[in-house]
Every structure is written in C-alpha cells, then in structure tokens.
Amino acid sequence: MTLPATTEDQIAAAVASAVAAREPVHVQGNGTKAGLLRPVQAARTISTAGLSGITLYAPKELIISARAGTPMPEIEATLTEAGQYMIAEPPDLSALLGATGKPQTLGGVVATNLSGPRRVARGAIRDHVMGIRAINGRAELIRSGGRVLKNVTGLDLCKLFTGSYGTLGVITEITLKVLPAAEATGTLVLPGLDAAAGIAAMSAALGSPFDVSAAAWLPAEAVAAMPALDGVSGSAALIRIEEFADSVTYRIGRLRDQFAVPGAVTLGTEASRSVWRDIRDVRPLAPHAQDAVWRVSVRPSAGAKVIDALRPLGAAGFLDWGGGLVWLAGPADAATHLRVEAAARAVGGTWTLLRAPDTLRATVRVIPDEPPALARITREVKAAMDPAGIFNPGRLYADL
C-alpha cells in the first residue's frame, strides 16, 4: 500500500497510522534507488514524490531550499540558469540500477549521501546540507539547521539524516549551500598508464597548486566506450580543472608539462563535461549490465591493489577520487562478494553493495558491520528517532 503525500501533515498522519498498526514503512521518493543496499520488506510505502517544489532560492546568499520530492533536473535547471551548481556533484544512478522513467529526487540524493567526482576536492553532500525538516517515528516534525551559512542553532541533525537511507525518519525539506559554476572546464588525459601509475599521477596532480577538482583512472574498455575520448588508446588517468577559461588553459598546460606523458590529450569544456558526467553516473561499468556492482572506499594508494586482487574473478572496475573510490563490477554471487569484502578489509577499506539480485542483497552484508561501540550508538539513535522501528527496516543491517 503506497501512501502518497503532498504536505508534511499528511506524512505525519501516515507515520502515526503505521505506528498504531505496528506496520513497517518503506520510505522513498521516486524509487530510483530502491535497488541500493538491502531490499526493504514493508507493508506500506510512504512516497515523498508529491512533496515537491523549490521553497527558497537566494543566489546571492548561495542557498537553495526545496521539498524532498523535488526532481533533481528541476534543481539543476534552476541553478544553471543562475550560473550556479550543487557542490558535491551528486550522481544519477538510475541507469546503473535500472530505474529509468522517473527522475531522482533531492530527498533521495540527501538520504543516500552519494557524491560525485568533485567529492575529492570539495566535500560530500553531507558537508553542504545547511538545514533539514523531517518527520520522525513519533510523527513529529523536527527541524535542524537553517537557511543561512553561519548557523549554530540546536543539534546538527542534518549530518545524521544525510546518508541515513530513510531509516531515521521521512525527510521533507532540505536547504543546501551552492556555489557559482565554473566558466570553463578542462581535462588532461594521460594515456597508457596502468592503475598504479595512474594513482601516482592523480596524487601528484591533487597535491599540486593547480586546484584540481577531480581525478579518475579508466581501464581501456571504458576509454574505448566514451565518444569524447575517441583517439585515446589504452587505459588513462583523467585530471580535471574548473575555473575561468584563461586560468584553466594555463593550469592544464602546466600539468601537461609536469607529467610529459606521450600522447597526452587536453579536452575542452563540452568534452570534459560529457566525460565527467559519465564518470559521475558510473557509466564506465555499463558493459557489465548483468554483474553486481560494489563501491569500495580505500586510501588512494590501495585502489590498484583492490582491482588487481579481484581481476582473477572476472571483476572489472575504475577509480575515482584520486584512487580512493573503486567502482567494481563482477559476478553476482556470494563467493565474489566475500572476496570483495576481503579485498577491502585487507587494505583497511570499506565496501557497499550497490547493485545485485534481491536474493544476494538479502543474504550478505551490504555494508561492513560497525565496531561494537559505534553499533551501540547507532541502535540508540535509531531507538530515539524511530522507537517503533518502522522506517526502512533491514535497509542497512538485517536486524535494524
């Protein structure tokens, strides 16, 4: 049973009804991320898709507020018209997850805290949420933060709700910090580098004074599948700079001289935006449509080790965040999943199972278990925000 809502009062009433009936609730927007993590088994669904619209946009104050069900294309179009953008460059995983037909919503982006290539230099979605409104498990409206950049009122529940995957309450409205968009974008493509050499180049670029905003490494099959990289052969490291046109040209030139890689290519603004949009949306894994997909976070120097450890199993992947984020696709079975877990743990990293058949998602750990002390805090927070345990049960952990 789906309970659509267009107001916070309707959501509160739906939550109160579910609590009274002791029935679990699947919280979602347009459902584009339903394939993430564990499948939710719930008698009811509360959709925020009808809770839509921008409630405040102050370009000079670098602030935008919108209801949770507002489609991301609407947010992006409004910001683009004013020459601004969302800082963390959130990905659209609809194609990866097979959720085509409806756009992702702002609430879904914030609830999952998924950030794109700019994350390595500018921070995650969580770092830019200034205010939030939500309905908790007592059917109460709660507010945290506000609509100004310098805000220290109350507990910072913004970061708590961001990335909670709808397990603590129903987000109804979000206020975000935004920034002016760059006039130009340039990308330096360094071909012929394997993963280890690519990480070395990306680390040097990110540590340079040239304000690199993204750095990724792509295997040969991903390079060949990108029209904007036509003419580039083999695997390659990509380094992005965003700023005023003259500054981009100068800094890209300095980096090109610094690395002196034969066959290096410079992409202009349009080609760069196309390539990084594909990387953001994980399109380099598009040829692996039948495989499971994992997102592994490690220290950058360990990224190549993770790919090498899983290659014998038929897994393929690419690197983002200067090597600190490994995107993997491989056989959708428990044995491969356990090897991914082991490879991540071996280098002190973490993993997230992003896409897999429901049978696999329901039977394996989709994220690592928390240390006992942290797990206790997680349960206490869950009990405080959702005392009846009705919101997205089992989404993160089987018993929570």
Confidence grade of residue 223 (pLDDT, cut at 50, 70, 90) = very high
The reported pLDDT for the residue numbered 100 is: 82
The reported pLDDT for the residue numbered 145 is: 85
On whether the CB atoms of residues 191 and 271 are closer than 8 A, the answer is no
3-state helix, strand, coil in the chain (%, to 5): 40, 25, 40
| Distance between CA atoms of residues 129 and 132, nearest Å | 8
Least Cα distance to 25 among 395, 366, 293, 384 occurs for 395
Confidence grade of residue 149 (pLDDT, cut at 50, 70, 90) = low
The reported pLDDT for the residue numbered 155 is: 67
Dump pLDDT digits (tens) for 60-114: 999 999 999 999 999 999 999 999 999 999 999 999 999 888 999 999 999 999 9
Q: Which amino acid is located at 154 in the chain?
A: G
- pLDDT for 3 beyond 90: no
Total-model pTM = 0.94
Q: Where in the chain is the domain with CATH 3.30.70.100?
A: 283-363
| Distance between CA atoms of residues 158 and 114, nearest Å | 15
Does domain 184-280 correspond to CATH entry 3.30.70.2190? yes
Q: Where in the chain is the domain with CATH 3.30.70.2190?
A: 184-280
The reported pLDDT for the residue numbered 151 is: 56
The reported pLDDT for the residue numbered 5 is: 84
The CATH number of 283-363 is which of 3.30.70.100, 3.90.226.10, 2.30.29.30, 3.40.50.1820?
Answer: 3.30.70.100
Confidence grade of residue 28 (pLDDT, cut at 50, 70, 90) = very high
Mean pLDDT of the chain: 95
- pLDDT for 43 beyond 80: yes
Residues with Cβ within 8 Å of 30's Cβ and at least 6 positions away in sequence, in order, are 47, 49, 69, 71, 99, 102, 103, 104, 105, 108
The reported pLDDT for the residue numbered 111 is: 97
Dump pLDDT digits (tens) for 315-345: 999 999 999 999 999 999 999 999 999 999 9
- pLDDT for 210 beyond 90: yes
Q: Which of 8-17, 144-153, 189-198 has the lowest mean pLDDT?
A: 144-153
pLDDT (mean) for 216-220: 97
Q: Where in the chain is the domain with CATH 3.30.465.10?
A: 2-180
- pLDDT for 394 beyond 80: yes
Dump pLDDT digits (tens) for 297-315: 999 999 999 999 999 999 9
**Please, how many CA atoms are within 13 Å of residue 194, restricted to the half-sphere of its CB?**
5
The reported pLDDT for the residue numbered 101 is: 84
The reported pLDDT for the residue numbered 148 is: 64
- pLDDT for 198 beyond 90: yes
CATH of domain 2-180: 3.30.465.10
Q: Which of 124-128, 134-138, 153-157, 198-202 has the lowest mean pLDDT?
A: 153-157
| Distance between CA atoms of residues 174 and 129, nearest Å | 7
The reported pLDDT for the residue numbered 71 is: 98
Dump pLDDT digits (tens) for 347-391: 999 999 999 999 999 999 999 999 999 999 999 999 999 999 999
pLDDT (mean) for 222-250: 95
Tell me which DSSP letter residue 57 carries: E
The reported pLDDT for the residue numbered 153 is: 56
The reported pLDDT for the residue numbered 150 is: 57
pLDDT (mean) for 229-238: 95
The reported pLDDT for the residue numbered 181 is: 96
